[in-house]
Each structure stands twice: as C-alpha cells, then as structure tokens.
Amino acid sequence: MSWPTAVIERLNTPDRDMLERQLSALPDGLGQRILDDLAGRMKVTEVRNVTAYLLANLKRAREGLFNVGEVVSGHSPEKQKSVAIPPSGEKKEVKRARREFVSGVMAEIRGNYFSS
C-alpha cells in the first residue's frame, strides 16, 4: 500500500498501523483508492481529522457505499466505480432512533469536532 506523503504527515504511527491493517483487508485495491481519495480531498479542502475521515470511509467501504470522489486526479466521472456488496437474502427491519438518543450523539459529535 502506497501512503501519500500528505496523509503520512498527519498520522501518528499507531494510528497508521491500525488503519493500514483495515485498509489492506478491503478487496480489489479499495484501500489504496480510499487513500488516494483522501490525498485528493486534502489538496482541495481542509481535512481536520485524517484518522476519523479514513475510519468513516472504511465503514462506507465495508457497507458497499464508498464512491471515489471527483477530487481524485486522473479519474473522470465516467470511470468512477461504486463498490457494491451483494445483498443478503433476508431484509432487516430498521427501527428509527429515539430523538433523545440522536440529540445525545449529535452533542457528542459537536463536542469532539469543535474541541479539536
């Protein structure tokens, strides 16, 4: 896996090791595409928390929702790939979260975001 210099500069060694294990576990070079997407995004906008950004994209990739953004150089929109995971045979019922729970989670996120 080839780590862009801009990304390496923003990560400490334990975080990088942890992220590399997770990125390497993804199929078909998807981990490298996630790193390349982050490097491209860092060229056009500020990424405040590189570790959180990568963890969020790892989660999306595992769920089949990661799409390479347009900021990655060398990729035109028609060449972008969506990673799809075949649906399981049974459909899961999704329950709506309570308002109090969502408010608490959002308050925690805001606190973490603005304290960094």
- Residue 67 pairs in a beta bridge with 82
Spans of all domains in the chain: 5-86
Name residues whose C-beta falls within 8 Å of residue 75's C-beta, 6 or more positions apart in sequence. Answer: 68
Task: Say what the pLDDT of residue 49 is.
Answer: 94
Q: Which two tokens stand for residue 90?
A: 């049974």
pLDDT single digits (tens) 21-76: 999 999 888 999 999 999 999 999 999 999 999 999 999 988 888 876 654 444 44
Q: Which two tokens stand for residue 31?
A: 């981990």
pTM for this model (two decimals) = 0.57
The pLDDT-based confidence of 93 (bands split at 50, 70, 90) is confident
Q: Is the pLDDT of residue 3 over 60?
A: yes
Q: Is 92 helix (H, G, I), strand (E, B) or coil?
A: coil
